[in-house]
Structure 1
Amino acid sequence: MPSHRAASLLLALSPCLIAQTPASPAPLDGIWLGTLHTGGPSLRIQIHLHQDAAGKWTCSLDSLDQNGVGIPCTLSSATNPIAIDIPAVHAKWSGSLTANTLDGTFTQGADMPLTLERQSTMTKPTPPATPDAALPPADATTIRAILDKDLAAALSSGALAPSTNAGVTIGVLAHGKRTIFTYGTAKPDSVFEIGSISKTFTGLLLAQMVEQKSVQLNEPVRDLLPPGTVAKPASGSEITLLDLSDQHSGLPRMPDNFAPADTTNPYADYDSKLLYADIAHHGVSIAPGAPFGYSNLGVGLLGSALANRANLPYNDLLHQQITGPLNMTDTSVVLSPSMRSRLIQGHDAAHNSARPWDLDALAGAGGIRSTAADMLTYLEAQLHPNQLPATAASTPQGKTLPAAILASHTIHADVPPGMHIALNWFRADATGNFWHNGATGGYSSFALFNPDKDFAFIVLFNTTISDKSFADRLGQHIAQRLAGDPAVSLAN
């Protein structure tokens, strides 16, 4: 990702476990290096963990062969089982410490073995590819011709080569003009899973319900759950709706009781009964100054809580508050017959066909499907909330939408390094770009808007995150082309 130098890691990997003789645990503080064997190029992964004099841990990850340096991570458990969250690439590592080895599993849509060995010095990353030269700032009328040239190698032998069956739909909005175009197998009206971009809709649902005075940002989430779901903490603070939206809730990335019966559709059987049981077990107390920690559980819980307060299923609440007023007829958790007929086939990292993911209780964290046209309507509303379609003003929910959109951009917390977070939108401090990416088992996506420069775009790709994460790199590239900056190369 452009704002934090993140590189996404591979999903399709061959096993690589190294047997170790158990020994007395050694301190976690240090440099840890391991290799993901892909069947093609291997990826060296380096994690730097440090505990300061006050006992506070810092964590960063380097994907050395992708020049992904300083990717922020969080040590959510420092005792066996060790747990490290890497929110920038929607991943985590969990395992155990024995002597000078961290032996465990890297999870990024699928579980993969990754063993890390203690190192005495930091290993330097592979030098980055030379960026493409800067061009004059692109707009909606020139971006297609630019990308035709910039994607030539990807179309012949890279991420969009015919053998991959991959397709990408791109929508660009700049200074009031929009364009939608495609490469590969995608069509302009293809439906994609948008993954964690769904979280920004959940953030806007929160802002809408605050404007309508049915909830408050500082309201405990416990008050929105069925009575008796979870006990009030005996002392101290408890998790609020804002804590869930700004990813500072202290909740783990995934529920402890997440054990899908079908790993090809892993969220389908995770229902509200399991969600509430997990929250009851975890509790809702929160430590003062809880750090940023990307949590699908947290935002999924927020979506369920808001739906409870509204007495509506999440999908119906989404339609009532956002997609209905904006006339986004192709955006939904539940596929309409028309959307289903246009749902493009998804693929895993090895280019095999992948099933769509059906999300139940955690739909607010990643369950929405959409098209480029609808997503441009959504992003145009972010750029110009006071110029919404006429349909918006015809409903009570549409009348509060302009103020809610502006409120959803208000910065609430930091996300090191160089970022802050609003109501689920990340903002890169250096550029002023608001962004979010997403991924499911067969799709990946990237959305960005910049109110000051008046541009926005959506990238929808029918392949999950993988080596060099094509959707993220393409999103970074488009942002740089629209800004007139040197652009990350898409040639490999």
Structure 2
Amino acid sequence: MKSGWLRRDLLKAAPALALGAVPFALRAGVPGDPIAARLDAFLNDAKADGISIAIVRDGLTRYHDAGFAVRGGARASKGTVYEIGSITKTFTGLILAHAIRERRVALTDDVRRYLPAGFDNLSKDGRAVTFADIVTTSSALPDNVPDWKAGLGNPSPAELPQRVVEFYKDYTQGDFLRDLAKASLTDTPGREPRHSNTASQLLGIVLSRIYGQPYAALVARFIERPLRMREGTGDIPIERLAIGYDEKAMPPLAVPLIMPAGGLRYGTADMARYINAQIAADDPAILQTQQPLWGTPDHQAIGFHWIIAKAADSRLYYRHSGGSFGCSSYCEFYPSQRYGIVLLTNRGNGDVQYQLEQLAGEIHDIVCGAPVGLAQLRRALEATDYADVPDSIAAVRQRHPELHLNEDRVNEWGYRLLFGKRARAAVAIFAYNVAANPLSANAHDSYADALSAIGDKAGAMAAYGRALELNPNNDHSAERLAELRKGT
């Protein structure tokens, strides 16, 4: 199964990128700029109209833009303002960190302490929703309240954006709290991360109640003014705004109630200031948001919404992605390299976020150089056509003990092979992942996909069955197992 509970950590291993880092001082757009071609390729592959990126290194920022902010109109630039989607959640988490440092709240507080009576539903199995659960996305709150599909009359995907925007025009904070009091938790709080706009909307409301100020004022107070960012919450001149597209123009997500979850809007010049501040981490509140609260960086951890993981050379890096109906975003930073990047585009849907993440990985390797151990492992496996994956990995690790291969990185590698019509090589990679992660339903599910691709029906059925034993809610395994059984 290619998707998981978080965005996949991508293997930054395209053959064209196995080269040394280029000088960061190389200006965008000059002959020989290796990034411009990749932006053009992204626009073509993602069917996007425009993209703006900012790369920061050692406190310096370099900007690259391609395409158009508006079809047939202004070109994309560092001043173009995009909807940043769920990256907004890291802003809301940072405001919470300030509230914690001011001792207005504690991370482990039951959020119901800061709400009116009537929210007994925000507890399950004797465990109440805490602030820590909200910022680690493990609150078990539903994604949207009310449900954007069933609650809005089951509109078609094409109708949904306009229906949502129209619905929220007259939907108040009181309406949200009324509907929240009727919602059911999907699991025990703190157990598993799941995307929830509802949780961050609730956090925004609670923070406003604590400080007696609107969410927009808190963003300005704690983030925009200290970092000298432009306002990302109010009216923005139309000549600076990117029009978001998903085939056709999408309505802007300028809905105050959604703002704490995904409603901020910035250009790359502002976001570069934000990423630089994250890299420096001079503010104790920023530093607090980067501490793992759920999971471990050896696999994947979560701080205050930041996804924290180890790169292939064991360096810690932080990332987050976002999307609205018409825009997609991605950012990541490596504190030890004093490097970060933000990518904004006016094309919506989840696939584009994935493509931005891939592009960010390519650009990191261009600027900083690809991990040496990973490049050597790739060459060793290709030389033997993946004949002995465990021995190849062990041999490379003797020379490069920093080589880090977590489950998601190996899983991504396997799917690249599978989609590249190299199913037997994919089987070998996935077999290694199963051996390294025997209790992972996702590892067994992916292994089954590859076994099925080479015609090993019995092996695939056994692997899908094991995935279901480990996770009875694995819909992909259940569906594939049923399909294979029909053919027996």
**Shorter-chain TM-score range:** 0.5 to 0.7
Residue of 305, 309, 312 corresponding to 2:210 = 309
Q: Does 1:263 align with 2:160?
A: yes
Q: Does 1:407 align with 2:326?
A: no
1:281 to 1:467, Cα distance in 2 relative to 1, 3 A: closer
Cα deviation for residue 222 of structure 1 reads 1.1
Equivalent position amino acid for 1:404 in 2: A
Task: Give yes or no for contact 2:57–2:338 (8 Å, CA) kept in 1.
Answer: yes
Instruction: Give, in whole Å, the separation in 2 of the partners of 1:467 and 1:129.
Output: 19
Residue of 232, 239, 244 corresponding to 1:341 = 239
Counterparts of residues 390-405 of structure 1 (less than 5 Å)? 402-405=283-286
Residue of 448, 453, 457 corresponding to 2:337 = 453
SS at match of 1:405: helix
Task: Give yes or no for contact 1:238–1:286 (8 Å, CA) kept in 2.
Answer: no
1:176-213 alpha-carbon deviations (Å, 9 max, x no partner): 21112211111121000000100100110110111111
Which residue does 1:212 correspond to in 2? 102
Cα deviation for residue 316 of structure 1 reads 1.3
Task: Give yes or no for contact 1:435–1:448 (8 Å, CA) kept in 2.
Answer: yes
SS at match of 2:206: helix
Cα deviation for residue 274 of structure 1 reads 3.4
Which residue does 1:225 correspond to in 2? 115
Instruction: Give, in whole Å, the separation in 2 of the partners of 1:232 and 1:169.
Output: 40
Cα deviation for residue 154 of structure 1 reads 6.0
Task: Give yes or no for contact 2:161–2:250 (8 Å, CA) kept in 1.
Answer: yes
Cα deviation for residue 356 of structure 1 reads 1.2
Instruction: Give, in whole Å, the separation in 1 of the partners of 2:324 and 2:189.
Output: 33
Task: Give yes or no for contact 1:426–1:435 (8 Å, CA) kept in 2.
Answer: yes
Q: Does 1:318 align with 2:251?
A: no
Equivalent position amino acid for 1:343 in 2: L
1:154 to 1:362, Cα distance in 2 relative to 1, 3 A: closer
Equivalent position amino acid for 1:197 in 2: I
Instruction: Give, in whole Å, the separation in 1 of the partners of 2:250 and 2:298.
Output: 34
Residue of 22, 44, 52 corresponding to 1:169 = 52
Instruction: Give, in whole Å, the separation in 1 of the partners of 2:190 and 2:101.
Output: 26
- Structure 1 residue runs without a partner (length 5+): 1-60, 63-70, 74-86, 90-127, 387-401
Residue of 72, 75, 84 corresponding to 1:194 = 84
Cα deviation for residue 479 of structure 1 reads 2.4
Which residue does 2:232 correspond to in 1? 332
1:182 to 1:232, Cα distance in 2 relative to 1, 3 A: closer
Task: Give yes or no for contact 2:87–2:262 (8 Å, CA) kept in 1.
Answer: yes
Instruction: Give, in whole Å, the separation in 1 of the partners of 2:367 and 2:46.
Output: 30
Task: Give yes or no for contact 1:199–1:366 (8 Å, CA) kept in 2.
Answer: yes
Task: Give yes or no for contact 2:90–2:304 (8 Å, CA) kept in 1.
Answer: yes
SS at match of 1:315: helix
Which residue does 2:305 correspond to in 1? 424
Which residue does 2:442 correspond to in 1? none
1:256 to 1:416, Cα distance in 2 relative to 1, 3 A: farther
Q: Does 1:72 align with 2:11?
A: no
1:163 to 1:302, Cα distance in 2 relative to 1, 3 A: closer
User: Which structure shows the higher strand fraction?
Assistant: 1
Which residue does 1:29 correspond to in 2? none
Which residue does 2:65 correspond to in 1? 182
Which residue does 1:292 correspond to in 2? 193
SS at match of 1:171: strand
Cα deviation for residue 220 of structure 1 reads 1.3
Residue of 249, 260, 269 corresponding to 2:139 = 249
The alignment's TM-score, normalised by the length of structure 2, stands at: 0.64
Which residue does 1:107 correspond to in 2? none
- Structure 1 segments (4+ residues) deviating >6 Å: 486-489
Structure possessing the higher radius of gyration over alpha carbons: 2
The alignment's TM-score, normalised by the length of structure 1, stands at: 0.64
1:251-292 alpha-carbon deviations (Å, 9 max, x no partner): 222234434587334253454233212321136797375222
Which residue does 1:36 correspond to in 2? none
Which residue does 1:479 correspond to in 2? 364
Task: Give yes or no for contact 1:359–1:367 (8 Å, CA) kept in 2.
Answer: yes
Residue of 161, 176, 180 corresponding to 1:279 = 180
RMSD between aligned residues: 3.3
Task: Give yes or no for contact 1:230–1:284 (8 Å, CA) kept in 2.
Answer: no
Instruction: Give, in whole Å, the separation in 1 of the partners of 2:233 and 2:64.
Output: 24
Which residue does 1:368 correspond to in 2? 264
Instruction: Give, in whole Å, the separation in 2 of the partners of 1:150 and 1:314.
Output: 37
Cα deviation for residue 232 of structure 1 reads 7.3
Q: Does 1:88 align with 2:7?
A: yes
Instruction: Give, in whole Å, the separation in 1 of the partners of 2:203 and 2:361.
Output: 29
Cα deviation for residue 442 of structure 1 reads 0.9
User: Which structure shows the higher helix fraction?
Assistant: 2
